[in-house]
């Protein structure tokens, strides 16, 4: 039984992680850090959590002194480094999975998107950076066709407001979002840079937030250097993901409802221009699951050399 610590447990992703950890027979949630809920039972937030476990307001040094086998950092950008430094000083072989963007551009960390960049590098790794939610959807959408591109892929994304976190702001204000679609970060969104870096191809990304709680739908426009057939377009995704249990390939363009509460992702649509030089397809996933918590669990288990998907409690 591997012991796991969770820092940033109160957020939407933290709640999902508590549930997912409870489903595993080989992982035990040893502590959950939340200053806002310090002293309250973890089961107040997540009924699936361990009975008797209380949220704690632990400092980085206190987290390190717990000496867990793995620690998941589920905090906003810019807050991971003190925890990483403290853990490295006390138990450097701890598997750390960071869900922020802090280490996604750091070559000393493994970038954990198993379906695209393989499981070999993640297996046994102790420093794993979890991809962003939009970045996961975008890379799953573009990667099978990246060698065929003649220029940047253009991505139009819409996310539920859970992606804006739990701290009140306009992008998670249900009144502001009512009957509304809110564009933001019109240039330079960090997921645009993340996708371009790891794909090795430039992308152009336009994010939006809507009034639904969870889920992402991403429509991708791609121009190809040579004409392709409809069969070749779709088969590129079948070849890439046919053996992946979390990725479903379908003819129809997936909608938000197909991504929400889905542990994986759905890709489909596959429309071509008459000359076969321009293609459009769609990816849908849950920003809190494959876009965050499920992917973190994949990375954690691979880092700990456990089964990626099993065993699970009944």
Kindly report the CATH number assigned to the domain that includes residue 51.
Answer: 3.40.50.720
Residue 312 pLDDT more than 70?
Answer: no
Task: Report how far apart, in Å, the C-alpha atoms of 97 and of each of 165, 223, 265, 293 are.
Answer: 19, 35, 21, 11
Active site residue 68: no
SS3 225: coil
Distance (Å, rounded) from C-alpha 231 to C-alpha 253? 16
Give the helix/strand (H/E) hosting 307: none
Compute the distance between CA of residue 236 and CA of residue 35 in angstroms, rounded to an integer: 47
| Residues 13-25: b if buried by 16+ CB within 10 A, e if exposed | bbbbbbebbbebe
Q: Give the integer Cα–Cα distance in Å for 95 and 82.
A: 16
Quick check: is 117 in a domain? no
Q: Which domain holds residue 24?
A: 2-102
pLDDT value at 134 more than 70: yes
Supply the pLDDT for residue 166.
Answer: 85
| Residue 215 near residue 282 (C-beta atoms within 8 A) | no
Q: Tell me if 309 sits within 8 A of 299, measured CB to CB.
A: no
Do 138 and 265 belong together in one domain?
yes
Q: What is the CATH number of the domain that holds 182?
A: 3.30.360.10
Residue 89 placed within a domain: yes
The answer on 230 and 87 residing in a single domain is no
E strand or H helix at 236: helix 230-241
What is the C-alpha separation between 164 and 173, in angstroms, rounded? Answer: 9
Contact 70, 46 (CB under 8 A): no
Q: Say how far apart CA 57 and CA 38 lie, in whole Å.
A: 6
User: pTM value?
Assistant: 0.96
Q: Which tokens hold the place of 77?
A: 């950008």
Q: Are 125 and 108 in contact (CB under 8 A)?
A: no
Question: Based on the domain organization, do 142 and 258 belong to the same domain?
Answer: yes
Which pLDDT score is estimated for 167? 87
Q: Note whether 135 and 262 are within 8 A (CB).
A: no
User: Are 46 and 168 in a shared domain?
Assistant: no
Mean pLDDT in residue range 223-250: 98
Question: What is the pLDDT averaged over residues 273-290?
Answer: 98
Higher pLDDT, 166 or 49: 49
CA angle 90, 132, 209 (to 5 degrees): 135
What does 240-258 look like in DSSP terms, one character per residue? HHTT-TTEEE-SSPP-HHH
Q: Which helix or strand (DSSP H or E) is residue 306 part of? A: none
What pLDDT sits at residue 314?
Answer: 44
Q: Answer whether residue 306 is part of any domain.
A: no
Beta strand 265-272 with 278-285 is antiparallel
* Selected catalytic residue, list 68, 133, 283, 301: 133
Q: For the chain, what is the domain count?
A: 2
By three-state DSSP, how is residue 162 classified? helix
- % residues pLDDT > 90 (the chain): 96
Q: In the numeric block, which tokens belong to residue 174?
A: 């249900």
- The model's pLDDT over 38-63, given as tens digits with 9 standing for 90+, comes to 999 999 999 999 999 999 999 999 99
pLDDT at 311: 59
**Residue 269 — φ and ψ, nearest 5°?**
100, -75
Q: Is residue 164, in this structure, part of any structural domain at all?
A: yes
| Residues 139 and 267 placed together within one structural domain of the fold | yes
Same domain, 92 and 188: no
In tens, the pLDDT along 74-108 reads 999 999 999 999 999 999 999 999 999 999 999 99
Asked if the structure places residue 304 within a domain, the reply is: no
Runs of H (alpha helix) within 105-222 = 114-117, 133-142, 174-177, 190-199
**pLDDT tens-place string over residues 170-222:** 999 999 999 999 999 999 999 999 999 999 999 999 999 999 999 999 999 99
């Amino acid at each position: 039984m591997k012991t796991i610590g969770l820092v940033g447990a109160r957020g939407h992703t933290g709640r999902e992680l508590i549930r997912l950890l409870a489903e595993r027979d080989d992982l035990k949630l040893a502590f959950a850090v939340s200053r806002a809920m310090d002293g309250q039972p973890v089961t107040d937030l997540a009924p699936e959590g361990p009975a008797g476990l209380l949220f704690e307001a632990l400092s980085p040094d206190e987290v390190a002194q717990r000496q867990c086998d793995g620690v998941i950092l589920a905090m906003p950008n810019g807050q991971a480094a003190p925890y990483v430094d403290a853990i490295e000083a006390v138990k450097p072989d701890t598997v750390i999975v960071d869900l922020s963007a802090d280490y996604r551009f750091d070559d000393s960390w493994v970038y954990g998107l198993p379906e695209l960049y393989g499981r070999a590098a993640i297996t046994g790794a102790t420093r794993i950076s979890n991809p962003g939610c939009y970045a996961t959807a975008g890379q799953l959408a573009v990667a099978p066709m990246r060698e065929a591109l003649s220029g940047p892929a253009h991505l139009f994304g819409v996310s539920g407001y859970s992606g804006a976190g739990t701290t009140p702001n306009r992008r998670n204000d249900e009144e502001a979002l009512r009957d509304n679609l809110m564009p933001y970060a019109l240039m330079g969104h960090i997921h645009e840079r993340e996708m371009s870096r790891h794909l090795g191809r430039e992308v152009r990304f336009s994010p939006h937030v809507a009034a639904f709680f969870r889920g992402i739908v991403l429509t991708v426009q791609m121009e190809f250097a040579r004409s392709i057939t409809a069969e070749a377009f779709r088969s590129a995704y079948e070849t890439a993901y046919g053996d992946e249990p979390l990725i479903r390939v379908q003819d129809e363009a997936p909608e938000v409802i197909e991504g929400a509460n889905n542990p994986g992702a759905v890709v489909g649509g596959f429309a071509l221009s008459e000359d076969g030089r321009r293609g459009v397809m769609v990816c849908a996933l849950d920003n809190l699951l494959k876009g965050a918590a499920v992917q973190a669990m994949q990375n954690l288990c691979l880092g700990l050399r456990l089964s990626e998907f099993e065993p699970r409690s009944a």
